[in-house]
Amino acid sequence: MAVLRLVSVSLASAALGADESVTTGPAALYLKAQIQNPPQISKLRPGDTVEGRVLRNVYSREREVVPAGSMIRLTVDKLERRRRIPNDHWPWVINLFTPRHENSPTFEAATVTTTDGKKFAFQVHLLAMGKQREVRAPAKKPQPGQRPKNQSPQTIVTLEATEAGSGPVAVAHGEPSKALPATLPEIAVGTSAKLILLGPVSASGSQAGDIFQARLVEPVRVASEIVLPEGTVFEGKVLNRRPPRMLSRPGSLLLTFTQVSVPGGASSPVAASLTAAELDQRSHTKIDPEGKLRGDRPGKAWMLANIGATAGIAKVADDGTQLVIEAIVSTATDASTAGTARIVATCGSLLFLLTRHGRDVVLPKFTEVNIVFDRPVTLPRSGGKTTPP
């Protein structure tokens, strides 16, 4: 089943046929939708449309912008070459010959139709497109016979835009506001949140202590009150990383989230760990119960690719050594140099095979992750504002 993911989507202009009073502001929106009958990217042409269904509610700060179940239609603007997003599926020897770029459609216009028939117009910008699946950490104390359930691969599209003008978002009018306590309700241990990374993180490219940021894409509620609105920025840190090593040993990556900045408010310390991530369908990254990302062991395809490269190196080294010796020593023959050439070929191929690194752990920019709070958090109410009861 294909999924369309629109990340940082911005709302443009007015609703098509909506008559409610609306209020909008400059904010990024994040959508995730399922594609119906996903087309082959190579066959898309300017003017073609791609349709899907929004899978979860879309928020701008505290308010709901697009409800889950809404239909979305994207219009292809053009095809352009984009740099491929790195992944851990193939070893270095295969990636060396893999094209660095790929053709990808760009979308500028989108129309969303809600379940009650309202239509909204959007301006969008494609960030990424590909098949992904969700990888989850198993429970720390699993029940007997229980296994982590990882979702099947789904086609994901990531789009970007910013909310502008008098958009189609209806604002609900609640009861008159009243004074509220200076602090928000406590966020309990185990509360989950869904974020999207604002920069790449990897076992090979990051260092212990590196800081990264992620953005909240769904509000966090406690007792029906929103304590963290959409758009809240989390600051994370690389606690530990181990890059892929020789003898095909995989890399690992341990992340933590240490700060949270609510829009219009001050930063507050938090402690949260990663529990799930949406990765490329071919990724062999796993998450252990402690939230550490680990590369899986090399599979058959990985080993066959390295063995094939090793055989090629052995052949080149064998023939090359004979040619060099025969060029230097005039009396040398194929028979007399065969033994030396085989030794050189064997040493060279073994050296190549033993120095192959294992799988990397790669979280590209705009990767969607789930986190849980490891300690309770109480945040101040920003600006002393009041909110509806």
DSSP characters for 88-127? SSS-HHHHTTS-SEEEEEEEEEEEEE-TTS-EEEEE-EEE
- How far from each other are the two terminal CA atoms of the chain, in whole angstroms? 41
Among 30-44, 182-196, 323-337, 343-357, the range with the most confident prediction by mean pLDDT is 182-196
**Per-residue pLDDT for 17 more than 80?**
no
Do 249 and 384 lie in a common domain? Answer: yes
**Does 287 score more than 80 pLDDT?**
yes
Tell me which of 155, 173, 191 is where a domain ends: 173
Residue 174, pLDDT above cutoff 60:
no
- Encoded tokens for 87: 């992944």
For residue 161 the two structure tokens come to 């835009």
Q: Which residues pair with 162 in a beta bridge?
A: 28
Query: Does residue 231 sit in the same domain as residue 251?
Result: yes
Percent of the chain with pLDDT over 70: 74
**Is the model's pLDDT at 21 over the cut of 70?**
no
Looking at the fold, whether 20 and 158 belong to one and the same domain comes out as: yes
Q: How confident is the model at residue 143 (pLDDT cuts 50, 70, 90)?
A: low
Name the H helices within the chain: 92-95, 300-328, 334-354
pLDDT tier at 171, thresholds 50, 70, 90: very low
**Domain C-terminal end among 173, 201, 227:** 173
Counting the structural domains of the chain, the total is: 3
Q: What per-residue confidence (pLDDT) applies to 252?
A: 93
Q: What gap in Å lies between CA 384 and CA 382, rounded to an integer?
A: 6
* C-alpha–C-alpha distance, residues 205 and 69, integer Å: 38
Q: How confident is the model at residue 8 (pLDDT cuts 50, 70, 90)?
A: very low
Q: What confidence category does residue 140 fall into, taking pLDDT thresholds of 50, 70 and 90?
A: low
Q: How confident is the model at residue 159 (pLDDT cuts 50, 70, 90)?
A: low
Are residues 124 and 112 part of one domain? yes
- Residues 122, 149: one domain? yes
Q: Which of 108, 142, 173 lies at the terminal end of a domain, its last residue?
A: 173
Looking at the fold, whether 294 and 330 belong to one and the same domain comes out as no
More confident residue, 299 or 109: 109
pLDDT, greater one: 36 or 173: 36
Model pTM score:
0.74
What number is the average pLDDT over the span 152-156?
50
**CATH number of the CATH domain containing 223:** 2.40.128.260
Q: Say if residue 78 is in the same domain as residue 217.
A: no
Range of the domain at 259: 175-298+358-389
Residues 123, 54 share a domain? yes
- Please state at what angle helix 334-354 crosses helix 300-328, rounded to 10 degrees: 150
Q: How far is CA 147 from CA 143, 150, 219, 283, in A?
A: 8, 9, 29, 19
**Do 315 and 223 reside in the same domain of the chain?**
no
Residues 156 and 219 both lie in one domain: no
Kindly list the distances between the CA atom of residue 310 and the CA atoms of 194, 302, 323, in Å, as whole numbers in the listed order.
43, 12, 20
Bridge partners, 22 (sequence order): 170
Assigned token pair, 89: 């599926």
The pLDDT, as a whole number, for residue 45 is: 84
DSSP state of 174: -
Which residues 6+ apart lie within 8 Å of 16 measured at CB?
Answer: 111, 119, 120, 121, 168
Whether residue 378 sits in one domain with residue 230: yes
Residues 324 and 381 in one domain: no
Confidence (pLDDT) at 219? 92
